[in-house]
Each structure stands twice: as structure tokens, then as C-alpha cells.
């Protein structure tokens, strides 16, 4: 088999020899390629500017690209947070879980807009409802625009983008409709799902028992911790106590008792006690004696309960992340301390900030 050099002649391609083995259309592709004399043969991938093969260039060569949509380009504007951009992309792809769409997927429930009696659809929520119409009109007046019957989300966004003589992707008018859509969605979810705090200060308690081998020790090493905060979520005190070896019920009751004592000392009353252990709630509400090793704790809690506590409630473990973190730290580092607001830093501060925003704390195990 001849080498490539066989098809050269005086520094150029030997066209007659090439035509002996390949058809003319292929020869017309080969002949314009310049010859680099003195260099070895090299396979070149023409799909990239460097001549090197990559899966990206291969994909670009075979894919059938859709026409570029300016709307989806604007959605990923650098001035928008990624969270907002992802939401907008899903919105314009009709992937937002409004009630009407969920019912199309087979979920059966009554649908009602949070501002009126209409069914919750994308067009109603973002365009047609009286509340959102007021928002659109408010910002349109600021920019001196006269909103007409836009008909759809896409038309509304295009109206804002091209309302200037020279449309610019970085103009504030391009971003205003995106921000209106985002905050409409967040406020709708807040009205629909937000859990309001009760008026009295809230005492959160928690405990932690580390894994012993591959199972939970009960009894085992235990720690008790809690957070005392007001109805707005502002922290007054945090506390943690290493208990040594004990049961889960002992740790939970110790956390409640220590929290009540601190609340009494600092004048934080009345309290709503939130616990993630249903066994402890049953003991406190029924005022049962329980096992002998926790009877003294129950008696102390009952005395303080009459002075301080308005109610004892159950809370899911995902809402008890801050206390769980403190209890885990107390157990592993053998800590016993009380933290004031200014003493809270690091991971604990982050958990509390997320908790105030309604983000659940997901445990790893």
C-alpha cells in the first residue's frame, strides 16, 4: 500500500494518481489541503480548529441544532442568580408544577389561586390575575410603558425587551420581567406553603447518639442540645451538654429540662416546646412517671412546665437540624456550654439562617 507521499509531485498533489483510486468529489476535497514537506503523516480532525478530536466537536458535527431563541439566551444573563435562571428556563419550557399541570399528571386535588378563586395555571398566576396585573402595571408606569394585551409570557417578555429603540440584552428592561416572574413564584409558594411561627418564644430541643459500629447504641454515648428563639426565628440562646452514656429518652428529657431552666433564668416565657421524639411528648403531656432513670427529670420538667410552657408540640427531625448539630458536637467533643447570639458562628449559623428561610435540614444518616 502506497504512502501519502506517493501521491505528491514536486511539492503538490499528483491529481492523476489520486483520481485512479478515488472519485472526483473526494479528490476535490483532498487537493486543497496544503502539503507540509519534511513532516510525518498525521491524522487531522477537521471538526475542530486545532485538528484534535473531541467529543464536543463530534457532537457539534452530527447534531441538528435548533434555531437560537433570544428568550432562552436572556434567561441565562450573568446578572441573574443561577437559581432564578433555572426557574425561568423551566417556566418557559412549561415545567413549573402549578396546580393545573399537576392535575394533568394525574394528581387529584382542588386548585385555587392564593389571591382569588380561579384555578392556578401558568397564565393566570403570571399574567392574568389581578394581583400580578397590578405588579406589571406598576413597573410599566415607572418605565413609561403602556401594557397591551400581551397574551402569553413569551409575548410579555418580548414586549419589555423591545420596548427600547435599540434593544440591549443588558438593559434593565430585559431583566425586570424575569424578576417579576421570579418573585411572583416565590411569593405564591410562601403564601401556599409557609409555616408561620407561634407568638411565644420557641424552645427547640434535640439529642444525638453517635453510631456505635454499624448500629445505634441505646444506651450509648449521648448529648443534649437545644435552641431558644422567638417567634420570628431570632436566637436568644443555644446550649449543649455532653451526657456520657445514656438512652435517647434521657437525652431528650435532659435537653428539655436544661432549656426550661435557661429560659427561666433569662426571663424567656411563655414557651412552646418542640420535640422530635413522640415518646417524650407523650411523657410530658400525660405527665407519666416513665422508667426509674428518668423519673427525676420528668418531675423537674413538670414543675417548670406549669410556670413557663404553653404547649408541647412535635416537630419533624428535618426542622431540628441546629439542635442536632449541637448535640453531635457535644457528644464528639465532650462540650458543655451555653451560647449567646454573638457566640454562634460557622456551620451552626448557616443552619439557623437556612432554617429561618424555611429550608429543611437533611441529615446524612
Task: Mark whether 249 and 306 lie in a shared domain.
Answer: yes
Residue 66: strand pairing partners: none
Q: Which of 24, 42, 62 is the last residue in one of the domains?
A: 62
pLDDT at 99: 87
Instruction: Report d(CA 178, CA 359) in Å as an integer.
Output: 23
pLDDT at 180: 93
Residue 364 in any domain: the answer is no
Among 30-39, 79-88, 252-261, 281-290, the range with the most confident prediction by mean pLDDT is: 79-88
Task: Mark whether 242 and 340 lie in a shared domain.
Answer: yes
pLDDT at 365: 45
Task: Mark whether 253 and 331 lie in a shared domain.
Answer: yes
Q: Environment class of residue 275 by beta-carbon count within 10 Å: exposed (0-12), middle (13-18) or buried (19+)?
A: buried
Q: Is pLDDT at 86 greater than 90 in this prediction?
A: yes
Instruction: Report d(CA 308, CA 23) in Å as an integer.
Output: 95
Higher-confidence residue: 132 or 364?
A: 132
pLDDT at 206: 41
For residues 225-252, give the mean pLDDT: 83
Confidence of residue 214 (pLDDT cuts 50, 70, 90): very low
Instruction: Report d(CA 198, CA 313) in Å as an integer.
Output: 11
pLDDT at 19: 86
Q: Which of 139, 170, 193 is the last residue in one of the domains?
A: 193
Residue-wise pLDDT tens digits, 243-255: 888 777 888 888 8
Task: Mark whether 252 and 137 lie in a shared domain.
Answer: no
Task: Mark whether 18 and 90 lie in a shared domain.
Answer: no
Nearest C-alpha neighbor of 178 from the set 92, 117, 256: 92
pTM exceeds 0.75, yes or no = no
Cell of 284: 410530658
For residues 312-319, give the mean pLDDT: 75
Task: Mark whether 56 and 83 lie in a shared domain.
Answer: no
Cell of 273: 416546646
Higher-confidence residue: 25 or 365?
A: 25
pLDDT at 234: 80
Count of the separate structural domains present in the chain? 3
Residue 363 in any domain: the answer is no
Residue 79 in any domain: the answer is yes
Number of neighbouring beta carbons within 10 Å of residue 245: 11
Task: Mark whether 158 and 214 lie in a shared domain.
Answer: no
Specify whether the CB–CB gap between 293 and 334 falls below 8 A.
no
Q: Is pLDDT at 364 greater than 60 in this prediction?
A: no
Residue 292 in any domain: the answer is yes
Length of the chain counted residue by residue: 365
Confidence of residue 85 (pLDDT cuts 50, 70, 90): very high
Residue 309 in any domain: the answer is yes
Residue 274 in any domain: the answer is yes
For residues 339-362, give the mean pLDDT: 75
Instruction: Report d(CA 348, CA 104) in Å as an integer.
Output: 42
pLDDT at 291: 67
**Using CA atoms in the order 216, 218, 221, 227, what is the torsion angle rounded to 10 degrees?**
90
Task: Mark whether 108 and 50 lie in a shared domain.
Answer: no
Task: Mark whether 229 and 316 lie in a shared domain.
Answer: yes
pLDDT at 185: 92
Instruction: Report d(CA 229, CA 238) in Å as an integer.
Output: 9
Please, what is the angle between helix 248-265 and helix 295-308, to 10°? Answer: 30
Q: Which of 62, 82, 105 is the last residue in one of the domains?
A: 62
Please, what is the angle between helix 172-193 and helix 153-161, to 10°? Answer: 140
Instruction: Report d(CA 122, CA 153) in Å as an integer.
Output: 9
Residue-wise pLDDT tens digits, 29-71: 888 877 766 666 677 787 887 788 889 888 888 888 777 788 8
Task: Mark whether 181 and 206 lie in a shared domain.
Answer: no
For residues 182-195, give the mean pLDDT: 82
Q: Domain of 294: which CATH number?
A: 3.30.420.10
pLDDT at 207: 36
Residue 49 in any domain: the answer is yes
Instruction: Report d(CA 228, CA 258) in Å as an integer.
Output: 11
Residue-wise pLDDT tens digits, 135-149: 998 988 888 888 776
Cell of 139: 413597573
Task: Mark whether 274 and 348 lie in a shared domain.
Answer: yes
Instruction: Report d(CA 100, CA 119) in Å as an integer.
Output: 7
H-helix or E-strand spanning residue 314: strand 309-314
Domain extent for 36? 4-62
pLDDT at 4: 75
Lowest-pLDDT choice from 4-8, 119-123, 156-160, 334-338: 4-8
pLDDT at 213: 30
pLDDT at 183: 92
| Percent of the chain whose pLDDT exceeds 90 | 6
Task: Mark whether 231 and 345 lie in a shared domain.
Answer: yes
Residue 365 in any domain: the answer is no
Task: Write down the H helix ranges in the chain.
Answer: 15-21, 24-30, 55-62, 70-75, 82-92, 99-104, 122-123, 130-142, 153-161, 172-193, 248-265, 278-286, 295-308, 321-333, 346-356
Q: Environment class of residue 228 by beta-carbon count within 10 Å: exposed (0-12), middle (13-18) or buried (19+)?
A: buried
Amino acid at each position: 500500500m502506497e504512502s501519502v507521499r506517493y501521491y505528491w509531485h514536486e511539492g503538490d498533489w499528483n491529481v492523476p494518481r489520486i483520481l485512479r483510486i478515488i472519485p472526483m468529489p473526494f479528490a476535490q476535497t483532498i487537493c486543497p489541503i496544503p502539503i507540509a514537506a519534511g513532516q510525518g503523516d498525521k491524522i487531522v480532525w477537521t471538526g475542530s480548529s486545532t485538528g484534535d478530536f473531541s467529543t464536543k466537536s463530534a457532537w457539534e458535527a452530527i447534531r441538528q441544532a435548533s434555531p437560537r431563541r433570544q428568550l432562552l439566551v436572556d434567561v441565562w444573563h450573568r446578572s441573574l442568580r443561577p437559581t432564578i435562571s433555572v426557574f425561568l428556563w423551566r417556566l418557559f419550557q412549561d415545567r413549573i408544577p402549578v396546580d393545573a399541570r399537576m392535575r394533568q399528571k394525574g394528581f387529584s386535588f382542588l386548585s385555587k389561586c392564593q389571591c382569588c378563586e380561579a384555578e392556578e395555571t401558568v397564565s393566570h398566576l403570571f399574567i392574568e390575575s389581578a394581583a400580578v396585573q397590578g405588579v406589571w402595571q406598576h413597573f410599566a408606569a415607572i418605565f413609561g410603558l403602556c401594557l397591551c394585551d400581551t397574551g402569553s409570557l413569551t409575548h410579555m417578555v418580548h414586549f419589555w425587551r423591545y420596548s427600547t429603540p435599540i434593544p440591549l440584552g443588558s438593559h434593565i428592561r430585559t431583566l425586570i420581567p424575569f424578576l417579576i416572574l421570579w418573585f411572583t413564584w416565590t411569593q405564591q409558594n410562601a403564601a401556599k406553603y409557609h409555616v408561620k411561627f407561634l407568638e411565644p418564644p420557641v424552645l427547640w430541643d434535640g439529642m444525638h447518639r453517635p453510631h456505635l459500629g454499624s448500629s445505634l447504641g441505646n444506651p450509648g454515648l449521648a448529648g443534649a442540645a437545644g435552641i431558644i428563639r422567638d417567634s420570628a426565628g431570632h436566637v436568644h440562646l443555644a446550649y449543649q451538654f455532653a451526657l456520657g452514656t445514656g438512652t435517647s429518652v434521657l437525652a431528650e428529657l435532659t435537653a428539655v429540662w436544661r432549656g426550661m431552666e435557661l429560659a427561666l433564668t433569662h426571663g424567656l416565657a411563655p414557651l412552646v416546646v418542640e420535640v422530635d421524639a413522640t415518646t417524650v411528648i407523650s411523657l410530658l403531656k400525660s405527665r407519666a412517671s416513665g422508667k426509674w432513670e428518668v423519673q427525676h427529670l420528668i418531675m423537674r420538667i413538670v414543675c417548670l412546665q406549669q410556670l413557663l410552657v404553653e404547649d408541647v408540640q412535635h416537630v419533624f427531625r428535618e426542622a431540628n437540624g441546629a439542635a442536632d448539630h449541637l448535640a453531635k458536637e457535644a457528644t464528639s467533643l465532650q462540650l458543655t456550654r451555653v451560647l449567646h447570639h454573638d457566640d454562634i458562628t460557622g456551620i451552626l449559623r448557616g443552619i439557623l439562617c437556612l432554617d429561618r428561610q424555611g429550608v429543611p435540614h437533611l441529615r446524612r444518616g
